[in-house]
Amino acid sequence: MPQMTALGGEARSARGRAHPNVALVKYWGKRDARLNLPSVGSISVTLDGLWTEVRVRESEADGDTYWVNGQPVIGEAAAQLFQNLEVLRAELGLGVRFCVEATSNFPVASGLASSASTGAALTVAVAAFCTRELSARELSILARRGSGSAARSIFGGFVEWHSGTASDGSDSFAEQLASPEAWPLGIVVAITDRQPKAVGSRAGMRHAQTSPFFAAWVTTQDADLAAARQAIAQRDLEHLGTVAEHNCLKMHGVALTAQPSLLYWKPGTLAAMDTVRGLRRRGILAYFTIDAGPQVKVLCHLRDCPTVADALRDTPGVLEVMCSQPGPGARVLEVVA
């Protein structure tokens, strides 16, 4: 329902929608925490079935307010979003306080990249609210300031986020490598835990450099990026899946060996990884990847999604399975002027 102002008119608002993305070659570690500049480039695929919608409207309260799926969010959970709003206000020259209402059709803060879909949807909504015509690259740079992976969710399909070298972050943006239609791959998501994760990616990355493997992670990333780029260009699932699985295990190797150590997996995560390797032994091309959480995402041919989903459903510790494919970028759904 549109909110009414004291004078009876509809409050000015804008609504955007964005989808989470699954990192195939991952972002882990920052070279500048304030500007959210990554130590490495990354490549992802944006998902179609999952989404977050964000509506922003001018708030009559003293400060910003944040609601997720109709519930007010306060404390630590809201602090990140309020910080994103500060950046957007500063960069876009805005003076208003916002009421932000987010709705997601999937569990938030549990390793399904809700920070990417929320950050990208917030960025396009705030830009639309202030009627700023920004290029996709500019939106990507703005979204990156809130959450690194949000820079990639501005785009649909297969997306690369360039780490860049400029100290002001002007060359650290994402761009599309292939549209969702160009390669309708299957992505099966296995939920192994619905609880919000104990350590978010921001906190997780803070100590990434303490891993003895961090330097090797950084120096081997370019080879993984090149391999993934080539596999996407050639629509080569075996090649892409192999590099994605390898890169995932390297990222988790860095997380596991950081001080303090981070273990994002649950028993169901390991069981799902085992299922995926079992499928491969049966000749089905299926490859897992896991972001900063316990959920397992499996790449496969679209025609194999039902077989992969059934095998994951039969896996102990897997609570729910969702089938997806590459989806669209962030977009504005409505502006009430």
Query: Between 162 and 201, how does the x/- string for binding to ligand PMV read (CB under 6 A)?
Result: ---------------------------------------x
Give the C-alpha separation, 41 to 302, whole Å: 27
Closer by beta carbon to ligand PMV, 101 or else 291: 291
Closest C-alpha to 194, from 313, 314, 317: 317
In angstroms, the first-to-last Cα distance of the chain is 15
Q: Enumerate residues 6+ apart whose C-beta is below 8 A from 250.
A: 213, 217, 220
As measured in angstroms, the least distance from the Cβ of 278 to ligand PMV is 25
Taking the complex as a whole, how short is the minimal distance between the CB of residue 81 and ligand PMV, in angstroms? Answer: 13
Taking CB under 6 A as the criterion, the residue among 41, 107, 148, 329 binding ligand PMV is 148
Rounded distance between C-alpha atoms, residue 70 and residue 270, angstroms: 34
Nearer to ligand PMV by C-beta: 38 or 57? 38
Cα distance between residue 327 and residue 324, in whole Å: 8
Cβ proximity to ligand PMV, 115 vs 123, nearer residue: 115
Q: Is 153 in the site for ligand PMV (CB under 6 A)?
A: no
Using CB under 6 A, which residues numbered 286 to 315 contact ligand PMV?
291-292
Stretch that binds ligand PMV, among 23-31, 229-237, 238-246, 322-330 (CB under 6 A): 23-31
- Respond yes or no on whether the N-terminal peptide bond of residue 316 is cis (omega within 30° of 0): no
Strands 42-46 and 21-25: antiparallel
CB 40, min distance to ligand PMV, A = 9
Taking CB under 6 A as the criterion, the residue among 202, 206, 280, 313 binding ligand PMV is 202
Of 22-30, 63-71, 125-133, 223-231: span binding ligand PMV (CB under 6 A): 22-30
Using the minimum distance from each CB to ligand PMV, give the nearer residue, 107 or 148: 148
What's the closest the beta carbon of residue 286 comes to ligand PMV, in angstroms? 20
Q: Dihedral (C-alpha) 228, 230, 236, 237: value to the nearest 10 degrees?
A: 0
Query: Residues touching ligand PMV: how many (CB under 6 A)?
Result: 14
The residue (of 23 and 298) whose beta carbon lies closer to ligand PMV is 23
Beta bridge partners of 47: 326
Please state whether beta strands 320-324 and 186-191 pair in parallel, antiparallel, or not at all (unpaired): antiparallel
Helical residues (DSSP H) of 147-213, grouped into ranges: 150-153, 201-206
Asked if 26 interacts with ligand PMV (CB under 6 A), we say yes
Nearest Cα to 137, choosing from 171, 164, 165? 171
Q: Binding residue for ligand PMV (CB under 6 A) from 17, 27, 87, 123?
A: 27
Report how far apart, in Å, the C-alpha atoms of 232 and of each of 47, 98, 171 are.
Answer: 16, 40, 23
Print the binding letters for residues 78-117 with ligand PMV: x by CB under 6 A, - otherwise: -------------------------------------xx-
Q: Among residue numbers 216 through 245, which ones bind ligand PMV (CB under 6 A)?
A: none
Closest CA to 58 of 79, 84, 85: 85
Task: Decide if residue 53 touches ligand PMV (CB under 6 A).
Answer: no
Count of CB atoms within 10 A of residue 308's CB? 25
Locate 5 and state its tokens: 């102002």
Q: Which residues bind ligand PMV (CB under 6 A)?
A: 23, 26-28, 42, 115-116, 147-149, 201-202, 291-292
